[in-house]
A and B are shown apart, each in its own frame.
Chain A
Amino acid sequence: MLNDRRTRGFQQVNYNRPNSVRSSPGFAAVPKDSHPPSLHWRGEPTRGEAEAVLAALEPVTASRYELSVGPRRVRTVTYLDTVDWRLRGKGLVASHERASGPGTLTIDGDGVSGTTRLTELPQWPARVEQLPEGEARDGMASAMWVRAVGPVLRSRAVTREVAVLDDEGKTVVRLDWAEVTGIDPVATPPLVRVSLWPVLGYGRDAKRVRKALRAAEGFADVDGDLYDGLLTAAGIVPEEAAAPAITREMPADVAIATALHGFAGVIAVNVNGVLDDIDTEFLHDLRVAVRRTRSLLKLAGDVLPPRLVARYEPDFKWLGDITTPTRDLDVYLLEFDALTAMLVAGEPDDLAPFGELLRAEREKARRTLARALRSQRFTRLIEGWQAALAEIIDRERSEAELSAEALAGQRVRRMVKKVVRRARSITPESPSESVHDLRKRCKELRYLLEVVKPVCDEAAHRAVIKDLKKVQDILGAFQDGEVQSESLRGFAERLQAGNRRPPAATLLAMGELSAGFVDMQLRARHDLTEALERFLGPATHERIKALLP
């Protein structure tokens, strides 16, 4: 039955989620964040043609109902996430839908849902502050953190709403027929689904309709939502590509090369994000990979060809150094609001000229960095390094070689000894250089432990990392306090020297911040003694023994 007259009451119904504006209990019959039951249609796609959709849904009418088709709608749906799948990690689905006009931005997930009508076409990727204000942004902000969202997958959805009417012509169930095709980055065959939206007070009809469809030949239950189905069909695996792990039996040099190759991969994939300034985490991740590389070269580079290490070590130092200024400024800017909030005597606005200086310096630093990352030196470094490592990984292997496991045991023990020795020698009177030295060694140990994780006892590894982390946090605060108070001095001097002299209030506020950092350092120094005592106690010793054979 084709009955357009009765479709007048239809609101636009999204095909894969409760319409977020439906907040009256009439629609709250479905728990708010749950998805309606959906069935998968195995027959031929209908392209949303009314006759074909009605023919497919025919089993519903057998008992006592009539069907009334609503309008056919076509729109593109672009699913969004951060490169490291933060939204998905939090069970959120963000999408930009449009038919004509700029469309809507929607967030949907555990206890969160919201839709924002857009007034202009959004640009991807976008960080939180670049997204249009509204429910959708509010719903995704904390999951996004400092990262930008961009398109994961673009699809085309053809939908048709079909109302199931009882003998009064009353809608008792709403069916959403949706045929969704992936278009970008790959084309996928259409996924055809029908979702059943119960109407308040008509739960029994919803059950009956669902039963009729499930009993029909063309329909099957589905697990997972449409987005999952699309990702699978498109061959997109929603997790960060893990670098191949080292194994116990690998020869030592192959294992080290494998780990280094993984880091090189991280460096390479983050370069574009840094160049495009998508968000600050690209640079951060790149730098961590550089630090890990340098640390591993230092602790286990001797198993690699000496000429290779000698050739690349300085390059990685260079790479680390050229990325530092931008990262330091990023950190300042990311923390800027928190810093402002720290002020007790000063007013938040006092720091505005400082903020401007930070932004100007960051822009300059970033340009320098971009030049370096576009240089031949960098290209040669990353390409040559990856190729050289690949050669080691693929080399012929023989039986009698030092294994990864043996190497790991040896190096971890050596590194632990170093850390313990330094930790023991720290007293409340030790100069801060000794504390910094301990901090660096702890970091090296941490990186080493992360590399050898696959050959370690899992529980022991987790415990050791946890102990180590506590100490590292305190050492980090100690270092930060010192570095920040010193760098504030530099910023203040540059502000003074600039052509627009800052107001006294700005310098005073910066002085207050500086005092805060000194205080943080002092507190960390105080906490350190106790933390080291715990770390040097028998428990840690036992755990380290259990770590490796």
Chain B
Amino acid sequence: MKVVASYNVKGGVGKTTAAVNLAYLASARGRRTLIWDLDPQGAATYLFRVKPKVKGGSAKLVGGARPVEAALKGTDFHGLDLLPADFTYRNMDLDLARSHRKAGKAARALARLLRDLADDYDVVFLDTPPSLSLVSENVLRAADLVLVPIIPTVLALRTFDQLAEFVDTLDRDRPRLHAFFSMADRRKALHREIIADLPRRREGVSPTAIPALSVIEQMAVRRAPLPAYAPNSPAARAFESLWSEIAELLPA
């Protein structure tokens, strides 16, 4: 089982959009897939039309009092399940710290929970809230691959560098980083420049850019993954090539 996190400290950069579409594509390509919506806002959960509710909430879940399996929901898509968000996830940092005395354990609690699902899924996507917290550290440690959506601006690049530095400090659980350009606007010269230049100069930056398109924005209206309602759109193609890259980095 491979774990892919969609993560960025910044908000509104396309984390959820990427996690939902890539999870959909992974399952459509035959991988048994789970997506865990760790964001108490529950955007991914909303997109799958599932109610943001986990019985017992974050405390029971991260404390191990309730099995992860009990909270799973089958999505409308074949081979794709969801672990929904719950409003109590906003306390997950506290719950993690509280239920695990040792800091080392608290930082690896999510990884441990995921291990229970190892026989059931080939790949698990983690959709994360924008923050740098104990939850984020858990996510980074649990992940084999961290997908980082970046908007092609200089400032956004700086945050990516900071993340890379932080990940370097992780001892044994160091995930691979894979950044990609999100909401790329071809009409903006700076965007074009960065997209053309950076993947060549910088390791771990995908040559695939997800364009800024209204068909992607429509996901919230349709409440469905993009490739499910616009399979042949250029936007869906872009996510497909992103998934192909990831699939190669994560041999089944």
Does B121 contact A24, Cβ atoms closer than 8 Å?
yes
With an 8 Å Cβ cutoff, the count of chain A residues facing the other chain is 24
Q: Is B73 an interface residue (CB 8 A)?
A: yes
Which of A48-56, A104-112, A198-206 is near enough to bind chain B?
A198-206
Q: How far is the CA of A62 from the CA of B9 in the complex (A)?
A: 46
Q: How far is the CA of A19 from the CA of B121 in the complex (A)?
A: 17
Does B223 contact A26, Cβ atoms closer than 8 Å?
no
Q: How far is the CA of A21 from the CA of B78 in the complex (A)?
A: 9
Q: Is A27 an interface residue (CB 8 A)?
A: yes
Q: Is B108 an interface residue (CB 8 A)?
A: no
Q: Is A235 an interface residue (CB 8 A)?
A: no
Which of B44-52, B95-103, B181-189 is near enough to bind chain A?
B44-52
How far is the CB of B225 from the nearest CB of chain A, in Å? 9
Chain B residues within 8 Å of A200, by CB: 72-74, 81
Q: Is A123 an interface residue (CB 8 A)?
A: no
Does B74 contact A201, Cβ atoms closer than 8 Å?
yes
Interface string of A180-217 (1 = CB under 8 A from B): 00000000000000000001111000000000000000
Asked whether A24 and B81 contact (CB < 8 A) given A201-B72, A202-B74, the answer is yes
Chain B residues within 8 Å of A115, by CB: none
Chain B residues within 8 Å of A19, by CB: 78
Asked whether A26 and B74 contact (CB < 8 A) given A8-B228, A9-B224, A9-B228, the answer is yes
How far is the CB of B223 from the nearest CB of chain A, in Å? 7
Interface of A: prevailing SS: loop
Does A9 contact B72, Cβ atoms closer than 8 Å?
no
Partner among A9, A23, A24, A29 whose Cβ is within 8 Å of the Cβ of B76:
A9
Does B73 contact A168, Cβ atoms closer than 8 Å?
no
Interface string of B40-70 (1 = CB under 8 A from A): 0000000011110000000000000000010
Q: Which of B12-44 contact A (CB under 8 A)?
A: 27, 30, 32-34
Does B76 contact A25, Cβ atoms closer than 8 Å?
no
Closest B residue by C-beta to A68: B76
Asked whether A25 and B75 contact (CB < 8 A) given A8-B229, A9-B224, A169-B223, the answer is no
Q: Is A171 an interface residue (CB 8 A)?
A: yes
Q: Is B166 an interface residue (CB 8 A)?
A: no
Q: Which of A121-172 contact B (CB under 8 A)?
A: 163, 168-171
Q: Is B80 an interface residue (CB 8 A)?
A: yes
How far is the CB of A21 from the nearest CB of chain B, in Å? 8
Does B79 contact A26, Cβ atoms closer than 8 Å?
yes
Does A25 contact B49, Cβ atoms closer than 8 Å?
no
Chain B residues within 8 Å of A22, by CB: 78-79
Q: How far is the CA of A169 from the CA of B224 in the complex (A)?
A: 11
Does B48 contact A25, Cβ atoms closer than 8 Å?
no
How far is the CB of B175 from the nearest CB of chain A, in Å? 24
Interface residues on B, range: 20 to 34
Q: Which of A24, A25, A171 counts the most B-chain CB atoms under 10 A from its CB?
A: A24
Chain A residues within 8 Å of B217, by CB: none
Chain B residues within 8 Å of A499, by CB: none
Q: How far is the CA of A201 from the CA of B81 in the complex (A)?
A: 10
Q: How far is the CA of A26 from the CA of B35 in the complex (A)?
A: 12
Q: How far is the CA of A9 from the CA of B47 in the complex (A)?
A: 13
Asked whether A170 and B76 contact (CB < 8 A) given A9-B224, A24-B32, the answer is yes
Interface string of B181-199 (1 = CB under 8 A from A): 0000000000000000000
Partner among B32, B48, B72, B79 whose Cβ is within 8 Å of the Cβ of A170:
B48
How far is the CB of A380 from the nearest CB of chain B, in Å? 61
Does A29 contact B49, Cβ atoms closer than 8 Å?
no
Q: How far is the CA of A269 from the CA of B38 in the complex (A)?
A: 67
Q: Is A63 an interface residue (CB 8 A)?
A: no
How far is the CB of A71 from the nearest CB of chain B, in Å? 15
Does A25 contact B223, Cβ atoms closer than 8 Å?
no
Interface string of A1-33 (1 = CB under 8 A from B): 000011011010000000101111111110000
Does A24 contact B33, Cβ atoms closer than 8 Å?
yes
Q: How far is the CA of A474 from the CA of B30 in the complex (A)?
A: 53
Does A9 contact B50, Cβ atoms closer than 8 Å?
no
Partner among B50, B78, B120, B224 whose Cβ is within 8 Å of the Cβ of A25:
B120
Q: How far is the CA of A382 from the CA of B77 in the complex (A)?
A: 61
Q: How far is the CA of A26 from the CA of B33 in the complex (A)?
A: 10
How far is the CB of A109 from the nearest CB of chain B, in Å? 23
Closest B residue by C-beta to A9: B76
Asked whether A29 and B74 contact (CB < 8 A) given A24-B32, A24-B120, A170-B48, the answer is yes
Chain A residues within 8 Å of B78, by CB: 9, 11, 19, 21-22
Q: How far is the CA of A271 from the CA of B73 in the complex (A)?
A: 57
Q: Which of A19, A26, A171, A199 counts the most B-chain CB atoms under 10 A from its CB?
A: A26
Q: Is B71 an interface residue (CB 8 A)?
A: yes
Closest B residue by C-beta to A19: B78
Q: Which of A272-305 contact B (CB under 8 A)?
A: none
How far is the CB of B122 from the nearest CB of chain A, in Å? 9
Q: How far is the CA of A200 from the CA of B34 in the complex (A)?
A: 12
Does A201 contact B120, Cβ atoms closer than 8 Å?
no
How far is the CB of A242 from the nearest CB of chain B, in Å? 46
Q: Which of B218-251 contact A (CB under 8 A)?
A: 223-224, 228-229
Does B76 contact A168, Cβ atoms closer than 8 Å?
no
Does A202 contact B229, Cβ atoms closer than 8 Å?
no
Q: How far is the CA of A529 from the CA of B79 in the complex (A)?
A: 63
How far is the CB of B70 from the nearest CB of chain A, in Å? 8
Does A168 contact B49, Cβ atoms closer than 8 Å?
yes
Closest A residue by C-beta to B225: A9
Does B73 contact A201, Cβ atoms closer than 8 Å?
yes
Q: Which of A6, A170, A171 counts the most B-chain CB atoms under 10 A from its CB?
A: A170
Partner among A8, A21, A23, A199 whose Cβ is within 8 Å of the Cβ of B74:
A199
Does A201 contact B71, Cβ atoms closer than 8 Å?
yes
Chain B residues within 8 Å of A24, by CB: 27, 32-34, 79-81, 120-121
Asked whether A168 and B51 contact (CB < 8 A) given A9-B228, A26-B75, A202-B73, the answer is yes
Chain B residues within 8 Å of A8, by CB: 224, 228-229
Chain A residues within 8 Å of B33, by CB: 24
Q: How far is the CA of A453 from the CA of B125 in the complex (A)?
A: 66
How far is the CB of B227 from the nearest CB of chain A, in Å? 10
| CB pairs A–B below 8 angstroms (6 shown) | A22-B79, A26-B75, A168-B51, A199-B74, A200-B73, A200-B81
Task: Kindly list the 6 A-B residue pairs having the minimum CB-CB distance in the complex, ordered from nearest.
Answer: A26-B74, A200-B74, A201-B73, A170-B49, A9-B76, A24-B32
Besides A25-B120, A170-B48, A201-B71, 9 other A-B contacts (C-beta < 8 A): A5-B229, A6-B76, A8-B228, A24-B32, A26-B81, A163-B76, A170-B76, A201-B73, A202-B73
